[in-house]
Amino acid sequence: MTIDLGGRVALVTGASRGIGRAVAERLAAAGATVGVHYGRSREKAEAVAEAAGNHSRPFGADLEAPGAGQGLFDAALGAYGRVDVVIANAGTFEEAPLDAPLDAWLAAWDRTMAVNLRSVAELGRAAARHARDRRQAGEEGVSVRLVTVSSRAAFRGDDPEYLAYAASKGGVVALTKSLARAGGGLAAFGVAPGFTRTDMAAPFIEANGEAAAARGIALDRLTEAEDVAPTVVFLASGLADHATGTTVDVNAASYVR
């Protein structure tokens, strides 16, 4: 079984670092042109795009801003004339203790929901509309594939400091199911990683040690971004279209549902 994405255009959010970067590299290795989205890490995204080749290029957008997800999709569509794959991966993991002042707690809630859920909804809406347009133009079957990146926290929950994070990821799973049910030339999938060694996880490892991070997993090493990326690419490839609506766990059996 080979995955050939030659001629396809993929937009990957949060591709400057971590899981998104690993996904972008895998997509490019399969032949895709990759829109390498970044928020603040422009130089890193430029390097990812250059290494990817295939006319890949970076796209900047702060996904906390209303409309930024739509604007990002429009920028990629304007640059390439088509978007075949959207990987909604960018995310933030912000602590908000129960005893934080309410205004600070609410600000963290709003930032988290904006980046982790609303921007994903904007991208999903844009992907569904693009798929519908292509269907109306005569394309048959699945035109656009969306893969969202949620988290183990969507199913297991998270610590009280991360209520917004877990709630946003639960929303991503429900959003993905709803977009899948709409069909209309769009297939929508999710991937729910467990603890993965990236910048997002680094503070926990630094504070608690590697053994604490690995506690509960059934494999003999921590999950790396490169362990998550192949599942994302497989779902985006067209080989899994009849699994549309599903979210696949990639958590080394640390949470089995």
Q: What backbone phi and psi angles, to 5 degrees, belong to 168?
A: -65, -40
Give all strands (DSSP E) within the chain, no chain letters.
9-12, 33-38, 57-60, 85-88, 144-149, 186-193, 196-197, 223-224, 247-250
Q: What backbone phi and psi angles, to 5 degrees, belong to 35?
A: -85, 110
Q: Parallel, antiparallel, or unpaired: how do β-strands 85-88 and 9-12 relate? A: parallel
Which of residues 33, 54, 92, 247 is near ligand NAP by CB under 6 A?
A: 92
Structure tokens at 173: 């799973």
Which of residues 143, 198, 231, 237 is near ligand NAP by CB under 6 A?
A: 198
Q: Please report how close the Cβ of residue 132 comes to ligand NAP at its closest, in angstroms.
A: 26
Which of residues 10, 11, 14, 163 is near ligand NAP by CB under 6 A?
A: 14
Which of residues 40, 55, 181, 215 is near ligand NAP by CB under 6 A?
A: 40
Beta-bridge mates of residue 186:
144
* 20 forms part of the interface with ligand NAP (CB under 6 A): yes
Question: Which of 47-55, 78-86, 191-199, 231-239 is the region at the interface with ligand NAP (rule: CB under 6 A)?
Answer: 191-199
Task: Please give the residue ranges that form the binding site for ligand NAP (CB under 6 A).
Answer: 14, 16-20, 38-41, 62-64, 89-93, 115, 149, 151-152, 193, 195-196, 198-201
Q: Would you please indicate which residues are annotated as catalytic (active-site) residues?
A: 165
